[in-house]
Structure 1
Amino acid sequence: MEMSLIVSSPPKFTIRRRDLLHNNKNLMIICSSASKSQIGFGHIIRCPNLPLSVTAHSKTAISTKASDRNTISNSKDGVKIYVGLPMDSVSDCNGIKHSRAIAAGLKALKLLGVEGVELPIWWGVAEKEAMGKYEWSGYLTLVEMIQKVGLKLHVSLCFHGSKEENIPLPKWVSEIGASQPDIFFTDHSGKHYEDCLSFSVDDLPVFDGKTTMQVYKGFVESFKNSFSPFMGSTITIDQLYSSAIRNSGAGEFQCYDQNMMRHLKQQAENLGNPLWGLSGPHDAPTYNQQPILNTFFKEAGSWETPYGDFFLSWYSSQLISHADRILSLAASTFSQTPIVVSGKLPLIHSWYKSRSHPAEVTAGFYNTINRDGYEEIAKIFSKNSCKMILPGMDLLDEQQPTESFSSPELLLADVRTACRNQGVEICGQNLNIAGTPKSLKQIEKNLAGGNGINLFLYQRMGGEFFSPKNFPLFSGFVRSLNQMELDSDDLAVNEREAAVYVPGKNRKLQTIGFGHIIRCPHLSLRVTAQSQSTIFTKASDRNTITNPKDGVKIYVGLPMDSVSDCNGINHSRAVAAGLKALKLLGVEGVELPIWWGVAEKEAMGKYEWSGYLTLVEMIQKVGLKLHVSLCFHGSKEENIPLPKWVSEIGESQPDIFFTDHSGQHYKDCLSFGVDDLPVFDGKTAMQVYEGFVESFKTSFSPFMGSTITGITIGMGPDDIRTACRNHGVEICGQNLNIGGTPKSFEQIKKNLAGGNGIDLFLYQRMGAEFFSPKNFPLFSGFVRSLNQLELDSDDLAVNEREAAVFVPGMMLNATAGDP
């Protein structure tokens, strides 16, 4: 297996939001994707007799007969394409997030003919608990999956955190930072950025006597040893730096930690100008300030004075020195291996057409109308025999806002000239997932002819990447790069053969990753099949469509894994969007599975409710009611085991589990035979369950009655309903299949109608299939018909823009056996 490594170090100096939002979510060492993509995959249809190919619609899906070929391969002379995996593919508990969705995506990429994938490996995940204590198990499992599919791999080692991906620095680093905050980048106001270590501590022994570079060295050595069986001929190391513009500004200088200030003072004194070392520029712009009017960067401003040249030269030298150290570290570590090291340079193109280039300068690149700032960077890459990865090859000047003075094309040309002068090889990368024909043509233009680029990293796998709009464009791009022609065997023979419809849009590869969301700032939200016929209500007229008092109350099940085994909310923004959509549609509430294996994971009687409490607060805030399912079993499909301590007892006493005739134990379920046996440190299963339920009751008491209204019981066939009626038992209803048809909804209404005495129905379960353009309109009509809601003229979309409601895609496997 060929592996390539991208090493990411703490980001650049400035915090710059425009580049994060519009072009540089993958900035130098911060492996933060332009799409924030995890994998949300919307819809997956399995084709057991065919290899997997993906297109926009099943009717036009492209397939290949298994008997004819196993894959579409790149020509030897073509550009090698690597697709980035989701940023959070491995959780901070070292589990694979959405492994089935990732596996399906890997197969689709292999069959399309891409060369491999790129995987971010986070310092905060792999060395989380203590310095020198490495945990690679999750990443190793994922690498084995990639190897099994037959793809190659680039690895990004990320020595920073990411608030967007909810990935902090290692716990022990953050603890040191709590008492020594100057280890972090710091701006003029004194704000510390706790996701990034300052370059000033590269060689300071702040970590129990070790310097930052020594700590990084240990991490890289451990990575090398652990992944040596997979290493082949290439590993790329990407040097990324953090940079984010706020609104229309250019960012701030990030040099105000005490260590950096001490170095500045010493440099100024060495030059005989001690006053220059007292602080950074007094007239430097703030984050949101227009940078070329009345600031350091204005025409004939301080940046062109001797002091300005001194400060900017010093500031830039900190970044260059750090780049040299980190690339040298990587190059020396892999010097005896067949590994090629690469570094990634950000494309800070805002304000490039101004004379002072404020966005680049605050990011640490002293590149102005008077000075070439990239020649020195290219020399560092050349010195360490590293390739350079250049993002932004999909960007066109014509797409940039005029007020930003931006020119990605000119900047890219300048950097490539510097690389050519220094003999540095270049790899390409895009910044925007949602490619257009124009942007993909721009990539082809940048890769064509004598440009000497033979490897391109396409960012990043997930729902948006696999959407019906974007994946066909990407597929055509891959074929065009490698001059591949389709023959008659590439055409789907019938709809069953063509049944490959890749998951919808979930800006982050997630379990809930709802498929398509169009935001309507002036409207409240209701969703139907297509934007042209989207139904909405004016916010000024009503906030929600409410159920009449006598109507059937509808509750919609939340995703089975809404709370992770580390007690975090999985895909909180997607869940929040779904809750709002349900509230505005008029459902009564939601149903939440609470898992024994999550809430009492570590030890008997040690309960951790924080994740579920946070989710209940979200539900309460939206104004929905809640039913809770307490699940005293595990689920292999959802990758949720029984509590760790129960499984440990089961290792020595396997008969606590259900067991079949062959002697196989089912370790997701305790046998009824131990209900009253004291097998858990003297306690019976029922006593353990009682403790769990009591703790739940106590912890959630503030929500009882007002938000939490009950526990649901599934409805059986008609003979059970007759028995319930005979004994005065009230019944609640539930469906089994998400993908409803008009007939199945009519059957539900028939079961709920008349004298059946059912006033509550649980609809299973929220996710991409539920929110798909096919199913959600059917569900919406079902809700309205149950509650006799009539639409008036205000419910009709005025135009397509107003009707922008496109709900996100999600990977979900709901079955009749769901708990």
Structure 2
Amino acid sequence: MAECAASKSGVPVFVMMPLDTVKPCCGSGLNHRKTMARDLAALQSAGVEGIMVDVWWGIVEGEEPGMYNFDGYMKLVGMARDARLKVQAVMSFHQCGGNVGDTVNIPLPQWVVEEMDKDQDLAYTDQWGRRSYEYVSLGCDDMPVLQGRTPVQCYTDFMTAFRDHFAAFLGSTIIEIQVGMGPAGELRYPSYPESEETWKFPGIGAFQCYDKYMLSNLATAAATAGNPDWGLGGPTDAGDYNSCPDDTDFFRQDGGGWGTEYGQFFMSWYSRMLLEHGDRVLSGAASVFGHAPGVHLSAKVAGIHWHYGTESHAPELTAGYYNTQHRDGYLPIARVLGRHGAVLNFTCVEMRDHEQPQDALCQPECLVRQVAAAAREAGVGIAGENALPRYDEAAHDQVVATAQEEQMVAFTYLRMGPDLFQAENWSRFAMFVKRMSDAGSSPPRSRQKTTEDDAVSVQG
């Protein structure tokens, strides 16, 4: 990532393209094409480094396995090159629709959906039997359940086809491959789905380990631990999607099940499964792009900041991040990324603690500092995004300060569209980009010493 950050001083700013930039129907055309060249030129004139675009699995390989249509993306990358902009390409192996900010619906490839219809245990499943079609369950990562291929093979084949198709642009125009590894492209479980109003902020979410593949693995882990009864399922006292931590026996602060021997076993297993998934998918990505000069890998980690002020950090636990008041759950993730040379891309960089609902005990600033510290400890770069569209100076101030303090290697702005180009918003945005270009001109905040508790949690 150092090379892409070095092309401009300070912290380079990228801008996310609209979710429907490439037409879902055929993958060959671009939406907003009449204004695209003008908008890209405006970004370049403002000092923006480049754009980020979702390369949707459901569009490119939507009709038939092994048949890839990158035509629309080829047109976009060509336009970015002509505008002298770099490209962050997101390998989006998830469904669009059902998460914060999703304005269009792009399902998984039709042939994948058909396989999931035939075997619904390919879908993440909660304790009430609700199936999620956002992303194929990691429980079957190594099983040939998708017409003779494993899901990880499908992801690796997709990335190989992308590399071969865009070989002429790699390292010059395309300088980053962000590897999607879960819902919303984030390395996590689909624990807080907004579709059909299943979950609403600030609910704690729900564990996603009830498909037969996950349950089989859990049973094996429990037997190995000498407690086969622990392998029958996840905690039954963890509330529902919209519970608060203290409404549940498992997450409550005073003697909650999360702190028991069983709770520690389950959370260790649940988070380890996610880490191993990340390692498998990134291994495939590194095998494909590892020898492409000037191209860097990144992975996105969700900014789950609500109930961060509690002991259990329940929403992080249900998402697969074993992070509590007594345990660092982000250092293991950063180390997985470090093994593959990937940058850690983190959200909610624009948020301030005092802006959030106080009863939800949100602490986005503390969370960002913790994740950035984990990235430093693991020796990986930290990049950022804003979680929600913001055009105000207060949000810009927070991003600039955080980018400076945490020595971010890049920042990606959510998102290009009519609102961004409104006169006042555009003026503030252009000033923000200039400020980011100066963000590395003074010494960053010195790293704080690790407390005794932190040292214990890092070792754990």
TM-score, normalising length from structure 2?
0.86
2-structure distance, mates of 1:374, 1:124: 30
Partner of 1:606: none
Residues 411-490 of structure 1: pairs in structure 2 closer than 5 A: 411-448=367-404, 451-483=406-438
Partner of 1:350: 306
1-structure distance, mates of 2:342, 2:298: 5
Among 119, 124, 132, the residue aligned to 1:193: 132
AA aligned opposite 1:473 = R
Partner of 1:236: 177
Q: 2:176 aligned with 1:259, yes or no? A: no
CA contact (8 A) 2:205 2:242 kept: yes
Partner of 1:781: none
Q: Which structure: larger Rg?
A: 1
Shift of 1:464: 2.2
Question: For each residue in 1:79-104, what CA deviation from the matched residue of structure 2 results, as whole angstroms up to 9, or x when unmatched?
Answer: 21111111110012121011012222
2-structure distance, mates of 1:131, 1:232: 28
Question: For each residue in 1:132-168, what CA deviation from the matched residue of structure 2 results, as whole angstroms up to 9, or x when unmatched?
Answer: 0111111111111111111111100100111242100
Shift of 1:397: 0.3
Shift of 1:237: 2.0
Residues 496-645 of structure 1: pairs in structure 2 closer than 5 A: none
Counterparts in 2 of 1:420 and 1:247: CA distance versus 1, 3 Å:
closer
Q: 2:289 aligned with 1:334, yes or no? A: yes
Shift of 1:331: 1.2
AA aligned opposite 1:281 = P
Residues 697-712 of structure 1: pairs in structure 2 closer than 5 A: none
CA contact (8 A) 2:238 2:248 kept: no
Among 278, 287, 291, the residue aligned to 2:245: 291
TM-score, normalising length from structure 1?
0.49
CA contact (8 A) 1:374 1:418 kept: yes
CA contact (8 A) 1:375 1:418 kept: yes
Percent identity over paired residues: 38
Counterparts in 2 of 1:90 and 1:440: CA distance versus 1, 3 Å:
same
Counterparts in 2 of 1:138 and 1:304: CA distance versus 1, 3 Å:
same
Partner of 2:111: 172
Q: 2:153 aligned with 1:153, yes or no? A: no
Aligned-partner SS, 1:344: strand
Moved more, 132-141 or 463-472: 463-472
1-structure distance, mates of 2:232, 2:156: 33
Partner of 1:282: 236
CA contact (8 A) 2:191 2:208 kept: no
Counterparts in 2 of 1:365 and 1:267: CA distance versus 1, 3 Å:
same
Partner of 1:802: none
Shift of 1:435: 2.8
Question: For each residue in 1:301-346, what CA deviation from the matched residue of structure 2 results, as whole angstroms up to 9, or x when unmatched?
Answer: 1111101111111010111111111111111211221121111111
Q: 2:38 aligned with 1:104, yes or no? A: yes
Shift of 1:77: 2.0
AA aligned opposite 2:35 = A
CA contact (8 A) 1:434 1:464 kept: no
Partner of 1:85: 17
Shift of 1:479: 1.8
Q: 2:151 aligned with 1:212, yes or no? A: yes
1-structure distance, mates of 2:177, 2:163: 13
Aligned-partner SS, 1:343: strand
CA contact (8 A) 2:13 2:436 kept: no
Aligned-partner SS, 1:222: helix
CA contact (8 A) 1:119 1:155 kept: yes
Q: 2:321 aligned with 1:368, yes or no? A: no
Question: For each residue in 1:94-117, what CA deviation from the matched residue of structure 2 results, as whole angstroms up to 9, or x when unmatched?
Answer: 210110122221111011111111
Partner of 2:457: none
Partner of 1:121: 55
Partner of 1:39: none
CA contact (8 A) 1:237 1:330 kept: no
Aligned-partner SS, 1:439: helix
1-structure distance, mates of 2:202, 2:351: 19
CA contact (8 A) 1:201 1:259 kept: yes
2-structure distance, mates of 1:294, 1:433: 33
2-structure distance, mates of 1:250, 1:281: 14
Partner of 1:381: 337
2-structure distance, mates of 1:97, 1:148: 18
Aligned-partner SS, 1:185: strand
CA contact (8 A) 1:123 1:169 kept: yes
2-structure distance, mates of 1:151, 1:248: 38
2-structure distance, mates of 1:104, 1:441: 28
2-structure distance, mates of 1:430, 1:289: 26
1-structure distance, mates of 2:307, 2:246: 9
CA contact (8 A) 1:120 1:158 kept: yes
Partner of 1:325: 280
Question: For each residue in 1:46-77, what CA deviation from the matched residue of structure 2 results, as whole angstroms up to 9, or x when unmatched?
Answer: xxxxxxxxxxxxxxxxxxxxxxxxxxxx9842
2-structure distance, mates of 1:460, 1:274: 48
Shift of 1:248: 3.6
CA contact (8 A) 1:393 1:442 kept: yes
Partner of 1:314: 269
Shift of 1:207: 1.4
Aligned-partner SS, 1:229: coil
AA aligned opposite 1:246 = K
Question: For each residue in 1:210-238, what CA deviation from the matched residue of structure 2 results, as whole angstroms up to 9, or x when unmatched?
Answer: 11111111111000000111111632324
Question: For each residue in 1:352-403, what CA deviation from the matched residue of structure 2 results, as whole angstroms up to 9, or x when unmatched?
Answer: 0000000100000000112111111111011111111122111100101011
AA aligned opposite 1:177 = M
Partner of 1:391: 347
Aligned-partner SS, 1:276: helix
Report which of the two has the higher share of helix.
2
Counterparts in 2 of 1:119 and 1:249: CA distance versus 1, 3 Å:
same
Counterparts in 2 of 1:133 and 1:76: CA distance versus 1, 3 Å:
closer
Gaps of 5+ in 1: 5-73, 485-819
Shift of 1:270: 1.0
Moved more, 333-342 or 222-231: 333-342
Aligned-partner SS, 2:114: helix
1-structure distance, mates of 2:227, 2:161: 45
Counterparts in 2 of 1:396 and 1:425: CA distance versus 1, 3 Å:
same
AA aligned opposite 1:100 = K
Number of equivalent positions: 413
